[in-house]
Structure 1
Amino acid sequence: MTASTPYIVPKEPGGGRALTLAALVHAALFVFLWIGIAWQSQTPVTIEAEVWDPVPREAAPLPEPPRVKEPEPEPKPVVKEAPKPKVEEPPVVKPDIALEKEKKRKEEEKKKRLEEERVAKEKKRLEEEKLAKLKEEESKKRLEKEKADKAKKEADDKKRREEADQKLMAKMREDEMKRMTGAVGTGGTGEAPKSQGGRADGDYVQRIAAKIRSNINYIVPEGLQGNPPVEYEVRLLPDGSVAGIRKLKSSGIPGFDEAVSRAIERSQPYPRDKSGNVPSTFIGIHRPKDQ
């Protein structure tokens, strides 16, 4: 194809064969239709025939007349005999079986009784444990209260002793000032009621130790090892009353130490010594097994 020639669509190959095949198919269809219509338009031929049997046969017998059914006789009523009462024989109990049952019954009663006793004992045990627990709690509370009361008493005693010591010191300073004032103004009179002796001598300590021991209220525990001493320093006023108590050495037995301290307070007022004065202080030593 060039610029001067127009475009031409090329022919598809096999176009003639297709036309020929289509013409043959149409021709075959036309022949088939023509033959089928012609075959259906012909009139069919019918033939009739009659068949005879040469052997004669007897005619079938006439049916029998229906028979009249005779009535059946009525059945005689059957009288049923009353059943005889059944006599039950009492069961025969064998001795061995009766003994076995009685033995079994007694064993069951015994088991039941033992179970009831066990339940009662368990209940009683629980009640006793509960009661013991309540008693223990009450005892614990009582001991705590006693301990608190004892601590309070000790605190009060300590406070009272401190106050007594302060009063003693104030009185001693006042007496000393009076003594010094009197000595300066008048040259000193040396009156016994206005003066107080020094530390007590051995004879005085032994004399008042017996008085203190008579006031000690203490039970020595069994099996006490040794005889440990407790040592107190006691300060006295001019009238023989206790101004203060100071523990110098403990015996290691708090109950005994406390008993000795109370006995020292109960033994006042203390007497005068040989000079006619009350000593200002003395040292008291006491042992639990010496009471």
Structure 2
Amino acid sequence: MTRKNSAYPLRPPRERGTWRAFVLALLMHVLLGFFLYHGIHWQNSTPAGAEAELWTEVPDTSVPRPVPPPPAPVAPAPPVQNEQADIALQEKKRRQQEAAREAQLAEQQRQKLQAQQEAEAKRQQQLAQQQAEDLAAQKAAAAKQKQQQQLADKLKQQQLAEQQKQQLKQQQDEEKQAQAEAQKKIDAEKAARAKAQAQAEAQSKKLDEERRARLAQMQGMAGGEGSTGNGLAKSGTGSGAGGTAASPGYAEKVQRRVRPNIVWAGDTQGLETVVAVRCAPTGTLLSATITRASGNGQWDDAALRAVQRSDPMPLDVNGKTPASFTITLRPAG
């Protein structure tokens, strides 16, 4: 609260009934002086005398007696005493008036002191009120500043949470992109492997056809010379490898050659694939086809690729590879 400047000085409040009290006090003083004056005058006046006759016997009224003379008049009090009483009364009035003036001055001083005390109390009250308002304003400002700080902290936390959310989203996007690129790379590698496999199969087919042509040519040459042998062993059946021209231990040789080339990470329960193989006497693989599938196309493809990667096939004890035989493959488990 701010003080307002005023053109009038600060004055104590007027007390009600001041003139009324003053008039009553003056009236009481006048009555007191009147009673004192008459009291002093009554004490200074000489009382009138009185006479009385005492009789020892009842007088005889039959004989007339002489009438006593009237009493002498009482002389009035000397005027000196009246003047002294007037002087004393005037002195008393003067003293009473001085006492009244002193009482009035004392009352005025008391009222002035009371007004000063009231003004000082009012000033102290205003000062305390001003201090209380200043303290309240400081508390309000501190509370407002604290609220603003809390709001700023909350906004900062929200921004930090949003940044973390964006970073997490960016990281997830990067991971997804990396996974997509990895998957794309895997798909590209698969496509490249498929293409290479297709090319290899095409080339193998082409070589197979060439080998067949050469083999037919060789067989024709051998038949034309009137040879009694079959030239190449016939195809046989059985577990591992078989054929009419194969030795008893040749099947194990074939298994040792093909087994390391099998790449399979899937199920191993109940899978069995039979692959028919045609080879040149030098072991060169001419063809490889699946004669009995396992029911799992992926395993059948893996088994066929393992046989194709085993080119050339091992030689038998006679230094030649059988012309045809079958290989039964099962996943290791």
TM interval, shorter chain, is 0.5 to 0.7
Query: Is residue 205–residue 284 contact of structure 1 (8 Å, CA) maintained in 2?
Result: no
In the alignment, does 2:255 pair up with 1:206?
no
Q: Which residue of 1 aligns with 2:286?
A: 243
Specify which of 195, 217, 221 is matched with residue 174 of structure 1: 217
Deviation of 1:267 after TM superposition, in Å, equals 5.4
Aligned length: 198
Which residue identity lines up with residue 150 of structure 1 in the other structure?
Answer: R
Relative distance call for 1:249 and 1:205 in structure 2 (3 A) is farther
Letter in 1 for 2:177: L
The alpha carbon displacement at 1:153 in A equals 1.6
1:195 maps to what in 2? 231
2-side partners of 1:225 and 1:197: how far apart? 33
Aligned positions of 1:119-130 closer than 5 A: 119-130=162-173
Deviation of 1:263 (Å): 4.8
Instruction: Quickly say closer, same or farther: Cα 1:256–1:101, change in 2 above 3 A.
Output: farther
Structure 1's 178 and 244: CA in aligned 2 closer, same or farther, altered over 3 A? same
Name the counterpart of 1:254. 298
- In 2: Cα distance, 1:117 partner to 1:259 partner: 57
User: Residue 92 of structure 1 aligns to a residue in which SS?
Assistant: helix
In the aligned structure 2, how far is the partner of 1:207 from the partner of 1:112? 77
Structure 1: segments with no counterpart, 5+ residues: 1-81, 83-87
Aligned-partner Cα distance in 2 for 1:148–1:234: 27
Q: Distance in 1 between matches of 2:259 and 2:332?
A: 13
Distance in 1, Cα, partners of 2:252 & 2:181: 46
**Other-structure match for 2:332:** 289
Give the percent of matched residue pairs that are identical in Structure 1 and Structure 2. Answer: 15
Q: How high is the TM-score relative to the length of structure 2?
A: 0.49
- Which residue identity lines up with residue 193 of structure 2 in the other structure? K
Task: Tell me by how many angstroms 1:246 deviates.
Answer: 1.1
With over 3 angstroms needed to count, the CA separation of the structure-2 counterparts of 1:204 and 1:246, relative to structure 1, is farther
Range moving further from structure 2, 137-146 or 153-162: 137-146
Are 1:272 and 2:272 counterparts?
no
TM-score, length basis structure 1: 0.55
Give 1:1-291 correspondences, 5 Å limit: 92-94=134-136, 97=140, 100-101=143-144, 103-183=146-226, 188=227, 195-199=231-235, 200-201=242-243, 203-204=248-249, 206-221=251-266, 224=267, 226-251=269-294, 252=296, 254=298, 257-258=301-302, 261-266=305-310, 268-273=312-317, 277-289=320-332
Alignment check: 8 A CA contact 1:228 1:288 kept? yes
Instruction: Tell me how far apart the structure 2 counterparts of residues 214 and 289 of structure 1 sit (CA, whole Å).
Output: 9
> Conserved in 2, the CA contact under 8 Å of 1:230 and 1:257?
no
Shift of 1:285: 1.0
For the Cα contact (< 8 Å) 2:276–2:324, is it kept in 1?
Answer: yes
- Whichever residue aligns with residue 141 of structure 1, its letter is K
Distance 1:168 1:239 in 2: 12
Quote how far apart the aligned CAs of 1:276 are.
5.9
- In structure 2, what is the Cα distance between the partners aligned to 1:277 and 1:145? 41
SS in 2 for 1:198: coil
